Amino acid sequence: MGFGGHAKSVADCIERKKEYRIIGYTEPAEVESRYPYLGTDEVLKHYYSNGIRNVAICQGYLGRGELRQKLYKFVKDIGYTLPVISDPSSIISSTAVIGEGTFIGKGAIVNAEARIGKMAIINTMSLVEHECVVGDFSHVAVAAVLCGQVEVGEAAFIGANSTVIQCRKIESGKIVPAGVTIR
């Protein structure tokens, strides 16, 4: 679902991992793409009834946590499964728990006993250290660092190249600006 910048990163990870096959994308209107345009999101009902069972929601966060939640509800009501999409270059601990529909980008690290909620974005080169909890629909942006035991609430945004020092809590819906250190 969607084919903007974040979708291109997700599609690249899907192709690199070779675990799923992309049949096309949905958007309100066709955009230039190497993938077939399937139509608006409403066509997903048709594809589900014809045997397609997985979908990736590729709408980036950019303050649109509510939109990602709405899209998630839409596809779950149809019956779709949202697989975890992770780049082969990411490192995910065997003791980490990753929620459905989550995207883990290139070079990202999710360390021991971290728990990532559903539909989260753990973006390129970000670090989620041991025992962190990242809430549903949250976004840890490019090169952001969550030190050990950080808790990030639902639909929060941790800006690019920011750092949250260990044992801190970021409330639901909060935005940590790019480059900031939370002590």
pLDDT in the model for residue 83: 98
Is 130 considered catalytic here?
Answer: yes
Q: Indicate the domain borders of the chain.
A: 5-78
Per-residue pLDDT tens for 46-94?
999 999 999 999 988 766 678 889 999 999 999 999 999 999 999 999 9
CA dist list (Å): 79 to 48, 51, 54, 75: 8, 11, 9, 6
State which amino acid sits at residue 130.
Answer: H
Spatial separation of the C-alpha atoms in residues 49 and 33, rounded to whole Å: 25
- Find, among 114, 112, 116, 113, the residue nearest to 104 by Cα: 116
H/E/C letters for each residue in 19-67? CCCCCCEECCCCCCCCCCEEECHHHHHHHHHCCCCECCCCCCCCCCHHH
| Strand-by-strand arrangement of the 139-140 sheet | 85-86, 103-104, 121-122, 139-140, 157-158, 175-176
State which amino acid sits at residue 51.
Answer: G
- Confidence class for position 15, pLDDT limits 50, 70, 90: very high
Per-residue pLDDT tens for 25-54?
999 999 989 999 999 999 999 999 999 999
| % of the chain surpassing 70 pLDDT | 98
Per-residue pLDDT tens for 134-149?
999 999 999 999 999 9
| % of the chain surpassing 90 pLDDT | 93
- Find, among 127, 139, 128, 124, the residue nearest to 174 by Cα: 139
